[in-house]
Structures are given as C-alpha cells and as structure tokens.
C-alpha cells in the first residue's frame, strides 16, 4: 500500500454539463496506473465512502466518487440529502450513466492514467455499477450487493428502478459480484439467476457469496459490518482490478 496520498474535493462535469461535487484521491507518486470510480451507496456521499476512495488510492489507483445528490441537495448533510433524493424516487438511470461517464473521462484525462478505468458500487451503487458495465466503455465493474439487477421490484418500493436484465447481452467488461448469503435485497436466488444469464451470454464474471453476511457487510460504521467477509471481499476485488486495470 502507498503511504503518501493526495485527496481533495473537486468538480467534474456530469450529465447534461452539470458541475458536480466529487472527492478524489491518488497516490502522491508519478507513474502510470488505473482509475476507479466509486459509486456511493443510497445513504449518500458520506465519510465512509470517502474513506473507500482513499483506500483505493493507497492501493495504487487514482479514484473518484461523484456526489450523485449534488443537484438536489448541494452542501447538505449526507443523511438529509439521501432522504430528499429517496423521496423523489432516487437517481434516474440515464443521469447516473452520464455522471459516471464524466468521472471516467476525468480519470482518463489524468497524466497518470494508463487508460483503464473500473467502477465499483455499494447497495444502490452496486446496481448502478452493473448499469455502467452495460452502458459505458469501461474495463471492469464490481457490484457489491446491488438489488434489482434482475428480479421484480416490490409494489410501493420508494425507488424508481427497473431490472437491468436487458443489458446482459451488451455488457462491455468483466463483472465481479460480492454478495451476502443472508441478504434479502438482493436475495441469493436473484444473483444465481443473473449468474446463469451471464454464463449463457458468455460474459466474463465471477460471483461470490459470504455466509453469515447480509446487506452492507462492507460498511464499517454500521451494525451490518462483517469483518471477515469484508476482508475477503477486498482481496477479491483488488485481485480483480489488478487483472483488469493494471
């Protein structure tokens, strides 16, 4: 792991030319390296997510996380911003793809970029990472317990989301899935169905299920945190990025 890092709040150009707040971190040394777009979870652009951005920088990547709630709640507390956006049905898929495309372009424009960029998302961001894998020119995507990639959305669910099953044939990069065996959103049965669909379509992917872990097992600041699952998950995703991002 790298010792000296640079981390700062920046602005990137997102969907429709919007100027969005983002948090970036990079190793302090020069050199050529891959980039990672961290897609924050539904609770928002919070301190725990920024720590994940710094972790990727410590592992040798340029990393950035866009505040997906910048338009609705600029400068607001993450919990308040998340509540507001949730009440409006969440972040629209088309806008999310445009915002992540801006982050990908920002990473590729860095003088340290080797041209390869991956995404990773947690919770709603896991689904959005898969969405980007089928919509953008990226090199790797990690889905951490993202619900409704396949499967039906229950009546009354507060987010305006739909299944992404139609994107399976158009996936442009390998996908790594990390899921809790005790999760209900997504349930293992949905991810097993997605696994089968990807296999049938000949899309490179690797799915892993962690016993004794439910949703949000990576979240160090929540009761759902499962240290052993998170430790193994970090190893798997870093190996995955080392293979595909260099």
190-214 confidence digits (pLDDT tens) = 999 999 999 999 999 999 999 999 9
Q: Which residue has the tokens 């981390």?
A: 7
Q: What is the helix, strand, coil percentage profile of the chain, to 5?
A: 35, 25, 40
Is pLDDT of 217 > 90? yes
Separation in Å, CA 24 to CA 67, 74, 142, 189, 246: 11, 17, 19, 36, 19
pLDDT value of residue 161: 96
This prediction has a pTM of: 0.97
Residue-wise pLDDT for 53-68, tens only, equals 999 999 999 999 999 9
Please report the pLDDT score of residue 147 as a whole number. 97
Rounded to an integer, the average pLDDT of 163-187 is 97
pLDDT, residue 1, reads 72
DSSP string for 129-153: HHHHHTTS--SEEEEES-TTSSSPP
Q: How confident is the model at residue 165 (pLDDT cuts 50, 70, 90)?
A: very high
Instruction: Give tens-digit pLDDT for 8-30.
Output: 999 999 999 999 999 999 999 98
How would residue 182 be classed by pLDDT, with cut points 50, 70 and 90?
A: very high
**What's the longest Cα–Cα distance across the chain?**
51
Q: What is the pLDDT of residues 65-78, one digit of tens each?
A: 999 999 999 999 99
Nearest to 49 by CA among 58, 61, 60, 40: 40
CATH of 5-245, one of 3.40.50.1820, 1.20.1070.10, 3.40.50.2300, 3.40.50.620: 3.40.50.1820
pLDDT of 241 above 80: yes
What band does 112 get if pLDDT is binned at 50, 70 and 90?
very high
Kindly indicate the confidence band of residue 90, based on its pLDDT and cuts at 50, 70 and 90. very high
Mean confidence (pLDDT) of the chain: 97
Mean predicted confidence (pLDDT) in 213-232: 97
Question: Which positions ≥6 away from 234 have C-beta within 8 Å?
Answer: none
In percent, the amount of the chain with pLDDT more than 70 equals: 100
Q: Where are the domains of the chain?
A: 5-245
Mean pLDDT over 77-104 rounds to 97
Predicted pLDDT at 208 = 98
Residue 215 has pLDDT above 90, yes or no: yes
Residue with tokens 């990639």: 149
Task: Look at residue 185 and tell me whether its pLDDT is greater than 80.
Answer: yes
> What pLDDT sits at residue 45?
97
How does DSSP classify residue 224? T
Which pLDDT score, from 0 to 100, does residue 3 have? 75
| Residue 163, pLDDT score | 96
Q: For 154, which DSSP code?
A: P
């Amino acid at each position: 792991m790298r010792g000296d890092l640079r981390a700062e709040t920046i602005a990137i150009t997102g969907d429709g030319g919007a100027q969005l707040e983002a948090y970036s971190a990079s190793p302090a040394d020069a050199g050529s390296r891959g980039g990672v777009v961290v897609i924050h979870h539904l609770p928002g652009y919070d301190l725990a997510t920024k720590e994940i951005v710094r972790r990727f920088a410590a592992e040798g990547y340029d990393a950035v996380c866009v505040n997906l709630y910048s338009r609705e709640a600029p400068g607001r507390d993450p919990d308040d911003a998340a509540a507001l956006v949730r009440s409006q049905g969440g972040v629209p898929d088309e806008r999310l793809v445009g915002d992540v495309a801006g982050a990908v372009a920002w990473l590729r424009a860095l003088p340290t970029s080797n041209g390869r960029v991956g995404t990773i998302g947690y919770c709603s961001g896991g689904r959005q990472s898969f969405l980007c894998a089928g919509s953008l020119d990226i090199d790797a995507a990690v889905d951490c317990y993202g619900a409704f990639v396949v499967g039906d959305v229950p009546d009354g669910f507060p987010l305006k989301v739909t299944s992404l099953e139609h994107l399976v044939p158009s996936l442009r990069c390998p996908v790594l899935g990390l899921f809790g065996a005790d999760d209900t959103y997504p349930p293992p049965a949905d991810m097993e169905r997605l696994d089968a669909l990807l296999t049938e379509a000949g899309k490179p992917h690797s799915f892993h299920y962690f016993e004794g872990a439910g949703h949000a097992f990576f979240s160090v600041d929540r009761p759902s945190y499962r240290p052993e699952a998170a430790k193994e998950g970090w190893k798997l995703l870093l190996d995955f990025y080392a293979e595909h991002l260099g």
